[in-house]
Amino acid sequence: MANEKLTTTAHDHGHPHGSHLPDGGAHHGPGAHGDHGHDHADVDWAGMAPLLETEAELFSPLYTQALAWVARDVRDPGLVVDAGSGPGVVSCLLADAFPGARVVAVDGAEPLLERARARAARLGVADRFGTLAGELPGVLDELEYPADLLWASRSLHHLGDQRAALAGFGERLAPGGTLAILEGGLPVRFLPRDIGIGRPGLQARLDVAQEERFAEMRAMLPGSVAETEDWPALLNAAGLRHTGTRSFLLDLPAPASERVRAYAAALLGRLREAQGDRLDAGDRATLDRLLDPADEASVHRRPDVFLLAAHTVHTAVRPA
């Protein structure tokens, strides 16, 4: 297969891999870090790319566990597709997990796919790595042959009709091929319940604000259909056979590395910007202190910052 590089002007509803940033397209079940939703033409993906890349790299131990679990039932795939790849961190982990496979990273943001291609070249897998730019799931029609494994990390919930999207993903699988979706889990935590400033439970209240924003985003998607998020049942309804569900933990305990602190600060800063109007004055003031590098109570300096998260993966097979 030639090295795909289809560029379109479509606005993708599949977003950067596993991102927890408010404008990075992520949601992770209860306590979501949702996004701005709808039209992403005004998102500066090139500017966001380094942060998205750093985030995915921090979560790589979790993704590696998940891919090892998926690999137990996916033997020697010829084509692996990362649907909603972002800057390609997980795409390259897929290339590592399946060394005999061709990997195609699919995303709507060409600047992120540029990062993916550069990463593949640095890691020595460019000869079996391609990219497609366009809107999911239709852009998958550009694949030269069906996928043996299609991985979709938090891209599905950005498609208005998730049931139809699952069916669309399934149609791009080879008979006996596997669909693995990462949806749900637990919200990211990087601070104790009581941080010594403001009211205890700040992150729980941020979760509520994010859930409200996520619901608004879902409602504004073209063709949005309300759906009970019973992913095994939805996979079966799409004509696939659900084969497994498992959650994977990322546990980076305190004291946090500088990279974790920078991530926490970036996430809190974007939450402050995106969700500030949903918080009371006290919580906004607390966030401002957490973001102030000169404040001993900030995430830049406090000793109790950690990173804890859980992601859930569901797998299903297309009947042979």
Tell whether 281 is covered by a domain.
no
pLDDT at 275 over 90: no
Close Cβ partners of 52 (under 8 Å, ≥ 6 residues apart): 16, 17, 19, 21, 24, 86, 87, 112
Q: Give tens-digit pLDDT for 236-246.
A: 999 999 999 99
Q: What is the pLDDT of residue 283?
A: 96
Domain that holds residue 138: 5-253+310-317
Q: What is the pLDDT of residue 49?
A: 87
Distance between CA atoms of residues 34 and 26, nearest Å: 5
Tell whether 222 is covered by a domain.
yes
Instruction: Report the number of distinct structural domains present in the chain.
Output: 1
Tell whether 159 is covered by a domain.
yes
pLDDT at 198 over 50: yes
pLDDT at 41 over 80: no
- Which segments within 35-146 are labelled E, that is strand? 79-83, 102-107, 129-133
Distance between CA atoms of residues 282 and 287, nearest Å: 9
Tell whether 305 is covered by a domain.
no
Least confident range from 4-13, 199-208, 297-306: namely 4-13
Q: Give tens-digit pLDDT for 98-153.
A: 999 999 999 999 999 999 999 999 999 999 999 999 999 999 999 999 999 999 99
Tell whether 260 is covered by a domain.
no
Query: Considering the chain, what percentage of its residues have pLDDT values greater than 70?
Result: 87
Looking up residue 31, the CATH number of its domain turns out to be 3.40.50.150
Residue carrying the six token digits 């997980």: 90
Return the SS3 of 46.
helix
Tell whether 120 is covered by a domain.
yes
Cβ–Cβ under 8 Å, residues 26 and 55: no
Q: What is the pLDDT of residue 248?
A: 98
Q: Provide the token pair at 5.
A: 């590089």
